[in-house]
Structures are given as C-alpha cells and as structure tokens.
Structure 1
Amino acid sequence: MEPTSNEIDREFRFFRTYKNGRVEKFYTTHKIPPPNDPITGIHDPTRKLPVLFYIHGGGFCFESAFSPLYHNHVASLVTEARVIAVSVEYGLYPDQPIPACYEDSWAALKWVVSHSATNGPEPWLNEYADFDRLFISGDSAGANISHHLAVRVGPDGLSGVKVNGIVLVHPFFGGLKEDDEMWLYMCPENGGLQDRRLKPPTEDLAGIGCGRVLIFFAAEDHLREVGQRYYDELAKSKWGGSVEVVEHEGESHVFHQMKPDWEKATNLMKKFGSFINQK
C-alpha cells in the first residue's frame, strides 16, 4: 500500500517528514519586498564604507533575508556600524538541501567581491564599498555558514578584498544529538558526526581567512556549550588571529532579535558596530 499523507516518518526541532515524502515545517516566513533605493541612508557620498556580508539563521530550513525580522535587524546594524550590508538569500531545505546554503553563500560572496575593481553589476557597491574592510557575519545557522566562508577564503584571501573579521552570533557547530540528526538529515551527502561543516576540524580553524573573530554567546542558549567548544578549539589552533567573546547572562538564543529594544540587545549591537570600526 502507498503511504498516506499523515504517516509520520521523522520529526525534528523545525519540521517533520511524512512517509509519502511530504515535509511540514513548524515555522512560516513572511517576506517583504526589497526597497527601491538600496543606498538610502548614506549621508556622505564621498566616503566609502565597510561592507557587512550578513547570513541569516533559521536552522538551514526557514527564515529569509527578506523577512521583517532580518530586514530590520540588518538595517539596524547598518545604522549602528555605518556599513553597507549585503544580506544573503540562500537555498533552504527541503527545496534545496544542504550544501546549497554553503554554495549559494559562497557564490554571493564572490558576487560582492566582483565589485572590488569598481566595475561590478551594482553601481552602489562600486561607488560606496570599501573592500579593504569586509566583514562576514551571521547568527545561528548563519554563523556556521560564516565560519565556513572564512575557511574557504583561507589564508591567501580573495583577490581585490580584505576580510577583516567575522562575527558569529550564537553559532551552531554540532554537538547536540537532536540538532545534529536534523542537520545530517537535511544533508543527504554528509560525513557523519565528524563532517567538517558540522564540527570544524583543527586544520580548518587554523586556516580562517581573517585576523579577528568576535563571538556572541547567550548564557541560556541551548547552543552555548557547542559555541564554547568552537572558541576553545580556535584558541588552541595555529590560526594566529585574535578572538573576542561577549556573553549576555540570562538570555536565550537570538534574544536580540526577539527583543531589539532590550538593553542587552542594544549592548550587542553597539559591540558589533565597534568591532567593525575598530582601528
């Protein structure tokens, strides 16, 4: 007999699958249209600004660069840090299983870098972007992807740009059975629990293609322990850069987006901005 539409096969934190192949997500993502003027807010057109390449979270299966949550968050970062931001819309499970998220983000980063000679397809990047000050950042799943982009940039860098640093907000790096099983399920061709995208090996940490890393932790975050492991392994590696940690007590995963006006969320944003503008 053919399986019916309501026979559950697997259930994870963010979705369940059915034996007939249907996937039911537990969260929906509302999208808003992009603004007509991408350079709104640039008050000094003669000054080039740092570039923030931002990768949204969402467990590799939901959320969007076009959701109000992330649109507002990145817009606030633009204001706080005085940067040009490129927010990435990458492929999500189940329409595009992992590794689409990594490959799409890498393609988007290379697209941004294509403007470094001031002859790229987007005039506002040609005109206003300072490619000697490029930063990669993301939260949760986006922080995971940010790390892997920095590894892919590597010690030799990308021609025409300088990746100054990465900012990892409440990062996901495996180590929790439920989340690990979900990631492996979304990535049909995986290397098991030791997959370097899930658990970065020492050689990857040593080859991060920037000189500075900032990691934000939330003390009550279920990913706090695995984030600490990443920090410890990075500190022990032969990377040679500087890593800084900021922890917010009593807060949970991505609290700053749920409560953007909260004092600790404001603190996070200010620290984010000062890291980018550090001389």
Structure 2
Amino acid sequence: MGSRPVPKYLSTSECNVDIPGFLRIHKDGRCERLVGNDIIPPGTDTSTGVISKEVIISHESKVFVRMYINSKTCIATNHKLPTLIYYHGGAFLTESAASSTYHPTLNLITKESNLIVVSVNYRLAPEHLLPTAYEDSWEAVNWVATHVKGNGPESWLNDHANLQNVFFAGDSAGANIAHNMAIRLGLYPINDIKLAGVILLHPYFGGEVPIEGENLEYKTYFDQVWRLVNRPGVGLDDLTVNPGMDPRISSFGCSKILLCVGEKDKVKERGYNYKNVMENSGWKGRIEFMETKGEGHVFFLFNSSSENARMLRNRICTFINPNTSKI
C-alpha cells in the first residue's frame, strides 16, 4: 500500500478481485500479485558493508527470515547487538522479506543503528488467511528466543544478539503485526527475552466507525481489503485491527513505542488515534511521535536516499540507541 492514488477494489468478468496495479484474484482462485515480486538475493551490500542471509525457521510452513548484520561486527567476538525483528507491509497480501522494496532500507537501518535485523517472511493472504500471518510472526519471535542461552540454531544470534534488548518493528500491515506481537508477548512472556521497544511505521489499523478527518474513500478500500484477508465473520472492530476495542492493550509488552506517520498518508488519522488509545489505556509506557511533512504512505521504502527517509532512519537509530550521536 504505497504512495499512490486510492486504489479501486473491483470485480470483473475475469477476476473476483482486481485492484489495479496491486493484486488480481482470478475466478479460478489464482492470485496474481503485481507488486513486491522483484527479489534481491541475500549477500554482501557493498555500499553499506552489511551482509545478509536467509534461514528457514519452519520446514512445515516454509517460513523464513532474512537476517542482516554489519560485516565488521560479524567477525568480532562476543560483541552483542540490539536485535530488531521486522515485519514487512503489503496489506497482508503482497511483498516479502526478500523483495527489493525492503532490502535496501534494511541494509541502511542495520548499518546506521548497528544491530541485527531478523526480517520475517510470513505467509500471505488470500492463500493463507489471517491469523496465519500473526501465527507465523509469533513463531519467528519464538525462534529468535531459542538463542537466549547462546545455543540456538543460528550462529549470528548466538554470537551477537542481545536478547535482553529486542525491538519489534514494521511498516503498514507489518506495523499492525508488530503491535499485535507486543500484546502477545506482554500476555505470554517467552524465556528471558526482553522487548525494549516497538517501532510502528505508518501503521495499518481500522475500525467500523470512521474517525474525525479520516479519508472515507480510502477507508472503504481498507474495509474491503480487511475482509479479503480474513476468514468470514472477522469484522472491522476485531482486536487485531482496532486497538481501541482491545481490553488487553494495557498488557503491551514494553514501555516505549516510536510511532511514525506521514503528513500526506491517507491512513495517518488511524495513527493519531492509536496514540490516543495507548495514552489512555492504562499502559505504563510512553510514545515518541514523528510526523514527516509532505510525505505519503511508507515513502521511506521507495526513496531511501531522500533527506526525509534519512531523518526517519535517524529517529529509529536514536530510539534504539539513545546515547548514539545523530547521523
């Protein structure tokens, strides 16, 4: 759901669903994704010195993670780093942890914030309706946690991950996932893993009742997509998409959130609403808020070299590393 005009959710003679430039679901059930298909293989990024690799974490589901680490850190010994578990966006329908949409930005975040990134490739709807993406994402958290004692299956995490300093992050639908994983971790702590913070970038939330200032045309599209990615009966006020309806929200699993929105983002009012909900929920934490002027939805993925994208990444860096000098 990038920076583009409000998509139209259509039905045609050939397709049950046709979202121009985004997705088609054909009458025979075949899903044709029109974005997020350009894959960049893992390896060494010469411009940042970051190396990446992929690890299958479930042979049953084929869920994998793409991991990132600074090459200089990788050869060091006993050097522990913050660990960022990242969930990609794409309305639960498109994109992947391996796509060209995410690889450049995660290389830059890895370098600039000096951390390990574990980017999760969860299964997509409509082939795998929600809550599959949430369950895959939770499985990834549990997989990371198996490295707490330094004897898990992945050497980068055993040798370099500080699992007392873990962050969840995501953009759009991925920010929705990050929020829901933080709720779940607060309710069901895992081993000795400690969630230090959550980073929500242009989050994907909704609700049955429109809120003040909300783009109603976009809300209509959003509502249709939400029904498309869910099983029948899951409504717009489900706890996973409308935090204001969630009685468990004060159990959020950490004490700080970085919430980022774009001034021209058509879902920004839901971000403002999220801030109000969290601040009035009884949650004992604080929200840092950043609005990027003049920018639309997840702009930082499509123009990672822009000054506004650099400033957003700098805010992420200082959120994770409060004592780090500005870039």
What TM-score do the two structures reach when normalised by structure 1? Answer: 0.92
Is 2:246 the counterpart of 1:214?
no
Bigger mean CA offset, 51-60 vs 29-38: 29-38
Aligned to 2:290: 246
In the alignment, the residues of structure 2 paired with residue 9 and residue 126 of structure 1 have an alpha-carbon distance, to the nearest angstrom, of 47
In the alignment, the residues of structure 2 paired with residue 60 and residue 26 of structure 1 have an alpha-carbon distance, to the nearest angstrom, of 14
More helix by share: 1
Aligned to 2:16: 9
Q: Segments of 4+ in structure 1 off by > 4 A?
A: 36-39
In the alignment, the residues of structure 2 paired with residue 102 and residue 257 of structure 1 have an alpha-carbon distance, to the nearest angstrom, of 23
Q: CA, structure 1 residues 155+278, in 2 after alignment: closer, same or farther (shift >3 Å)?
A: farther
Aligned to 2:77: 45
Aligned to 1:121: 153
What is the letter of the counterpart of residue 229 of structure 1?
N
Q: For the Cα contact (< 8 Å) 2:36–2:96, is it kept in 1? A: no
Is 2:37 the counterpart of 1:22?
no
Q: CA, structure 1 residues 15+156, in 2 after alignment: closer, same or farther (shift >3 Å)?
A: closer
Is 2:202 the counterpart of 1:158?
no
Aligned to 2:66: none
Q: How far apart are 1:58 and its partner, in Å?
A: 0.9
Q: How far apart are 1:49 and its partner, in Å?
A: 0.4
Q: How far apart are 1:29 and its partner, in Å?
A: 1.2
Is 2:90 the counterpart of 1:58?
yes
In the alignment, the residues of structure 2 paired with residue 80 and residue 188 of structure 1 have an alpha-carbon distance, to the nearest angstrom, of 40
Q: For the Cα contact (< 8 Å) 1:157–1:163, is it kept in 2? A: no
Aligned to 2:215: none
Bigger mean CA offset, 8-17 vs 230-239: 8-17
What is the letter of the counterpart of residue 256 of structure 1?
F
In the alignment, the residues of structure 2 paired with residue 269 and residue 28 of structure 1 have an alpha-carbon distance, to the nearest angstrom, of 22
Q: How far apart are 1:154 and its partner, in Å?
A: 1.0
Q: Identify which of 268, 274, 284 aligns with 1:230.
A: 274
Structure 1, unmatched stretches of 5+, are none
Q: For the Cα contact (< 8 Å) 2:226–2:236, is it kept in 1? A: no
The C-alpha deviation readout for 1:76-133, integer Å capped at 9, x for no partner, is 1111111011010110123322221111110011000110011100111111011110
What is the letter of the counterpart of residue 100 of structure 1?
T
Structure 2, unmatched stretches of 5+, are 1-11, 45-50, 53-68, 208-218
SS of alignment partner, residue 139 of structure 2: helix
Residues 162-201 of structure 1 aligned to structure 2 (within 5 Å): 162-175=194-207, 176-200=219-243, 201=245
Q: For the Cα contact (< 8 Å) 1:155–1:210, is it kept in 2? A: no
Bigger mean CA offset, 206-215 vs 180-189: 180-189
Q: Identify which of 275, 287, 308 aligns with 1:264.
A: 308
User: Sequence identity of aligned pairs in percent?
Assistant: 37
SS of alignment partner, residue 194 of structure 1: coil
In the alignment, the residues of structure 2 paired with residue 160 and residue 113 of structure 1 have an alpha-carbon distance, to the nearest angstrom, of 8
Q: CA, structure 1 residues 17+274, in 2 after alignment: closer, same or farther (shift >3 Å)?
A: same
How many residue pairs get aligned? The number is: 275
Q: For the Cα contact (< 8 Å) 2:170–2:200, is it kept in 1? A: yes
Is 2:110 the counterpart of 1:67?
no
The C-alpha deviation readout for 1:151-207, integer Å capped at 9, x for no partner, is 000156322111000000000001422112211121114431111111122423211
SS of alignment partner, residue 310 of structure 2: helix
SS of alignment partner, residue 124 of structure 1: helix
Give RMSD over aligned pairs.
Answer: 2.0
What TM-score do the two structures reach when normalised by structure 2? Answer: 0.79
What is the letter of the counterpart of residue 268 of structure 2?
R
Aligned to 1:275: 319
Q: CA, structure 1 residues 54+219, in 2 after alignment: closer, same or farther (shift >3 Å)?
A: same
Q: How far apart are 1:67 and its partner, in Å?
A: 1.1
SS of alignment partner, residue 107 of structure 1: helix
Q: For the Cα contact (< 8 Å) 2:261–2:268, is it kept in 1? A: yes
Q: For the Cα contact (< 8 Å) 1:6–1:18, is it kept in 2? A: no
In the alignment, the residues of structure 2 paired with residue 149 and residue 224 of structure 1 have an alpha-carbon distance, to the nearest angstrom, of 21
